[in-house]
Structure 1
Amino acid sequence: MTNVTPFPFQAPRAEQTAFDRLELQRIMDLYGRMVSAGHWRDYAIDLGREAAVFSAFRRSAERPEYRIEKRPSLRHRQGMWALIGETGNILKRGAELQGILAPVERRLLKIVRD
């Protein structure tokens, strides 16, 4: 009876990749503008060990129109941010979130005629 087991046993927790407050605020701001323009209707956030993913949907039953991925393991190579299209093609990759969101924000611009 010399074995002492601490109770409760807690397994070591795996690190989870997530968006910080400013990143999520910028993404949700874009999402709100796209909803008000009638382009998007739903979103999903997936936080995993390797990546954090924000998916924007035109309709909730379809594939996401865009996915915004944050992969910290690629920080020193191609940049940790990626914009992925509906078919799975990487549309833009970089180190800054602002540059990744630029192609989506351009869809909101409208030409004003005199």
Structure 2
Amino acid sequence: MNAQPPISMRPGAQPPEQVAFHRRELNVILSLYGRMVAAGEWRDYGISHLRDVAVFSVFRRTAENPLYRIEKRPKLRNKQGLYAVIGMDGQVLKRGHELKTVLRVLERKLIRSVE
């Protein structure tokens, strides 16, 4: 049979767009993640790269819903900000243009857990 190649392999076809975290962004997120694991607060994570959003989900246990989601939404770059931290209940805890600034909401929780 003469099967057609997938769209992404056809000459001149553009691959489907996907939002992803860059290396610098992952370094910042994983640095915080490592400190929270050392404090006993977090135990697992998952990363999703979707069409409109990249999500770094943080879990206390693997089988649970995520405690927090760190999202990158390029479409909101000029509006509310590219990054957001979302709680377990879906509430936006912090939104902004700078990843380190947005992650401070989680660093405050690290300081409380260490004291």
TM range (shorter): 0.7 to 0.9
Q: How many residues align?
A: 105
TM-score (norm 2): 0.86
Write out the 4+ residue segments of structure 1 that deviate beyond 2 Å after TM superposition.
Answer: none
Q: What is the percent sequence identity of the aligned residues?
A: 56
Aligned residue number for residue 58 of structure 1 = 60
Letter paired with 2:104: A
Aligned residue number for residue 28 of structure 2 = 26
Q: Structure 2 residue aligned with 1:35, among 23, 34, 37? A: 37
Aligned residue number for residue 76 of structure 2 = 74
Deviations, residues 16-37 of structure 1 (Å, cap 9, x unaligned): 1111111000101111111110
Whole-Å separation in 1 of the counterparts to 2:35 and 2:83: 21
Aligned residue number for residue 4 of structure 1 = none
Structure 2 segments unaligned to the other structure (5+ residues): none
TM-score (norm 1): 0.86
Query: Which has more helix, going by share of residues?
Result: 2
